[in-house]
Amino acid sequence: MFAEVIFNRPIPPYTYEIPERFRDVKPGLRVEVDLGGSHTVGIVYRILEKSGVKGLKPLLNVLDSSPVLNDDLFKLAEWISYYYICSVGEACWTMIPKGIKKRDVNVDYGLDEKQRPVRSENIKLTPEQKSVVDRLVDAVEKNENRVFLLHGVTGSGKTEVYLRVIDRVIKKGLGAILLVPEISLTPQTVRYFTSRFGEKLAVLHSRLTKAEKVNEWYRILRGEKPIVIGARSAIFAPLERIGAIIVDEEHETSYKSDETPRYNAKSVAYYRTRMHGGILILGSATPSVESYHLAKRGVFTLLELPNRVMNNRLPATKITDLRRSRNSRFLSKALVKAIDDRLRKNEQVILFLNRRGFSSYIFCEDCGHVIKCKNCDISMTYHRDIKKLVCHYCGYSIDPPDLCPNCGSEKLSFSGFGTERIESILNDIFPAAAIVRMDTDTVKRRRALSEILNAFAKKKIDILIGTQIVTKGLHFPDVTLVGVLNADIALNFPDFRAAERTFDLITQVAGRAGRGEKVGEVIIQTYNPSHYAIQTAKNHDYTEFFLREVKFRQAMNYPPFTRIIRLVFRGKNQDKLFDVAGACLDILVKARTGGDDILGPASCPLSKIKKNYRVHVIIKTNSIGNYRNVLVDIGNRIKKTYDVYLEIDIDPISML
């Protein structure tokens, strides 16, 4: 007997002989074998009766008593391997928790006293919620195999819908997965779920230790926990029979992995429900253009919650034109006045700026030189608290120079503004207010995020300034003012999804305002007041945004009208990168079908990161499958021949 073993490497399965003492070995068990001269852990993939090859090496050790993966997950790994172009082994290692090492990990992940199940009072669904729940529950009852797009404005009560559907799913004896973009930002959702489902729920927190993760994995595998909540990788939870997968905030880019295999949890969810049954629910206030397009065409079933619960109105939104009102120091007069008003009324304010640090760049007024990171071709950001210029891509930092490194001039100007600078300006204007900044600089510490959120909930903070972190899921009834300090940062990204991101960000952060009884107000500061992404976000008009955006996508042949394959070549020698990319382009052009566009090679918008240059080739096609063999071939050639690293990205979410 022989075993095909797979590894966390870009290599095919290798065959080993099964010695008599391991004759019970079966697929899904981890084993130790000799791979190229060193002892390596692999997973048994298939058992073979015979092998044509003589003198195969034996299995050295079997590490598990029961499989770490079930059959469904093996099939899923095969699909990931095919679709995202990686080895089956790499796909399997992406799925299992990193801590799986020993056979019997026995750490108990006890729930806090606080988190023990409590009877949650029975919320009466609004008529809108009820009709959505009825439709979904009906689909569960009838074992429909269908994708639903739940388009519900912020505060429309989507979470309650999810709870009801999952309740029905587990009553049927099936499992359910709820994906959220980032679990630490959704404490409220997690609390609702723990209080409703208690011990049946596995919360796959990034803060669990490795052992706790492994423990939860086995409990799910054994069927003890039929409900799983977690971020991206929770899509691989080893549930046996799935009734529903829910992807909340489905437009979020964090569902796409940025490491090989570059999977999108949404696509994996789609495949999982397709192959193994169950419904898929994609929920968002700002659905991705791709999903909404499919819903419009009837491929997905569109469900809508157009109103907030309890007749709570969406916030009134104003745009202030930063070009006109010569406002001092990055804050428009209108915004300062509105903040002042809220402080007087003892209400709370959220200010959003998607750039941290003090000044976004330093440039020389004489020669125009901008100080950039030596490892990355990116301007460095001044952080005043540590008095350093920092690269936000690689973390490299230097003391700010006194003279221009290019021409020696003394006229160095600190331009642009980040969260740190806004914090300092606000402290000057409102010395009595409690102002806290929430960005990756201030929440590095493990508990910092929850401390800030708790203080905000207890109204110990008046003004919360933050980056993307503040746009997501927060539910604080006393927040009546939201300011978007610079809507143009997202808009000016060299990416075809820039308008979509801008619309999402504004809508999501605006959705934090007026969630209680008091009406909310949103002020958007911009240099592009007439841009459709900003205008439609102001009017809370997703449909209009979609119509405008889809016209642009069609005219320029971008998704959803085409699919994209992006090849990124990384390496130390830029000329060589262009040579290699050019050679690959020739191969791809030969494989081209129909009118597919194959573009490049060109420097990526982020042309150098961490000392590596980056060059890309972009394929626009509606038949990705036609390129698969050629891509595998290119991948293999590059691995053998060149000192160049290739990333293959199917359906990329970032073009930078």
| Contact footprint for Zn ion (CB under 5 A) | 364, 366-367, 369, 373, 375-376, 391, 393-394, 396, 404, 406-407, 409
To the nearest whole angstrom, how small is the minimum distance from the Cβ of residue 327 to ligand ADP? 32
**Position 167, amino acid:** D
Each residue 65-104 as x (binds ligand ADP by CB under 6 A) or -, in order, gives ----------------------------------------
Each residue 102-141 as x (binds ligand ADP by CB under 6 A) or -, in order, gives ---------------------xxxx--x------------
Is residue 264 near ligand ADP by the rule CB under 6 A?
Answer: no
Is residue 287 near ligand ADP by the rule CB under 6 A?
Answer: no
Is residue 606 near ligand ADP by the rule CB under 6 A?
Answer: no
Site for ligand ADP in 293-312 (CB under 6 A): 309-310
Give 243's Cβ-side CA count (13 Å radius).
25
In 3D space, the residue among 80, 461, 485 whose CA is nearest the CA of residue 322 turns out to be: 485
From the list ligand ADP, Zn ion, none, pick the one residue 406 interacts with, judged by a Cβ distance below 5 to 8 Å according to partner type.
Answer: Zn ion
Distance CA 195, CA 121 (A): 10
Distance CA 135, CA 641 (A): 56
The SS3 call for residue 457 is helix
Site for ligand ADP in 473-512 (CB under 6 A): 475
To the nearest whole angstrom, how small is the minimum distance from the Cβ of residue 612 to Zn ion? 11
From the list ligand ADP, Zn ion, none, pick the one residue 54 interacts with, judged by a Cβ distance below 5 to 8 Å according to partner type.
Answer: none
**Nearer to ligand ADP by C-beta: 156 or 526?**
156
Question: Hey, which residues does 618 pair with through a beta bridge?
Answer: 566, 599
Is residue 156 near ligand ADP by the rule CB under 6 A?
Answer: yes
The torsion angles phi and psi of 306, rounded to 5 degrees, stand at -80, -10
| Continuous segment of H or E residues that includes residue 561 | none
**Position 418, amino acid:** G
Distance CA 268, CA 257 (A): 11
**Nearer to ligand ADP by C-beta: 94 or 471?**
471
Other Cβ atoms less than 10 A from the Cβ of 155: the count is 24
Q: Which stretch binds ligand ADP (CB under 6 A): 20-28, 147-155, 236-244, 344-352?
A: 147-155
Distance CA 617, CA 615 (A): 7
* Interacting residue with ligand ADP among 42, 157, 571, 600 (CB under 6 A): 157
In 3D space, the residue among 171, 91, 136, 142 whose CA is nearest the CA of residue 246 turns out to be: 136
Three-state SS letters, 197-230: HHHHEEEECCCCCHHHHHHHHHHHHCCCCCEEEE
Say how many Å lie between the first and final Cα of the chain, rounded: 49
Is residue 656 near ligand ADP by the rule CB under 6 A?
Answer: no
To the nearest whole angstrom, how small is the minimum distance from the Cβ of residue 470 to ligand ADP? 15
| Continuous segment of H or E residues that includes residue 159 | helix 158-171
**Nearer to Zn ion by C-beta: 367 or 448?**
367
To the nearest whole angstrom, how small is the minimum distance from the Cβ of residue 190 to ligand ADP? 12
From the list Zn ion, ligand ADP, none, pick the one residue 394 interacts with, judged by a Cβ distance below 5 to 8 Å according to partner type.
Answer: Zn ion
Q: What beta strand segments (E) does 431-478 contain?
A: 435-438, 463-466
Distance CA 86, CA 10 (A): 6
**Nearer to Zn ion by C-beta: 30 or 608?**
608
**Nearer to Zn ion by C-beta: 406 or 454?**
406
To the nearest whole angstrom, how small is the minimum distance from the Cβ of residue 159 to ligand ADP? 3
From the list ligand ADP, Zn ion, none, pick the one residue 125 interacts with, judged by a Cβ distance below 5 to 8 Å according to partner type.
Answer: ligand ADP
Please tell me the count of residues contacting ligand ADP according to CB under 6 A: 16
From the list Zn ion, ligand ADP, none, pick the one residue 475 interacts with, judged by a Cβ distance below 5 to 8 Å according to partner type.
Answer: ligand ADP
**Nearer to Zn ion by C-beta: 394 or 632?**
394
Q: Which stretch binds ligand ADP (CB under 6 A): 151-159, 196-204, 254-262, 595-603?
A: 151-159
**Nearer to Zn ion by C-beta: 404 or 634?**
404
Place of tokens 């997202």: 490
Is residue 423 near ligand ADP by the rule CB under 6 A?
Answer: no
**Position 257, amino acid:** S
Token pair belonging to 86: 């990686």
From the list Zn ion, ligand ADP, none, pick the one residue 211 interacts with, judged by a Cβ distance below 5 to 8 Å according to partner type.
Answer: none
Cα distances (Å, whole numbers) of residue 302 to 288, 323, 554, 651:
13, 40, 22, 23
Distance CA 145, CA 143 (A): 6
Distance CA 557, CA 563 (A): 9
> Which own/partner contact pairs does 450-456 have at CB distance under 8 Å and 24+ positions apart?
450/184, 450/187, 453/187, 456/348
From the list Zn ion, ligand ADP, none, pick the one residue 159 interacts with, judged by a Cβ distance below 5 to 8 Å according to partner type.
Answer: ligand ADP
Residues within the interface to ligand ADP (CB under 6 A): 123-126, 129, 152, 154-160, 309-310, 475
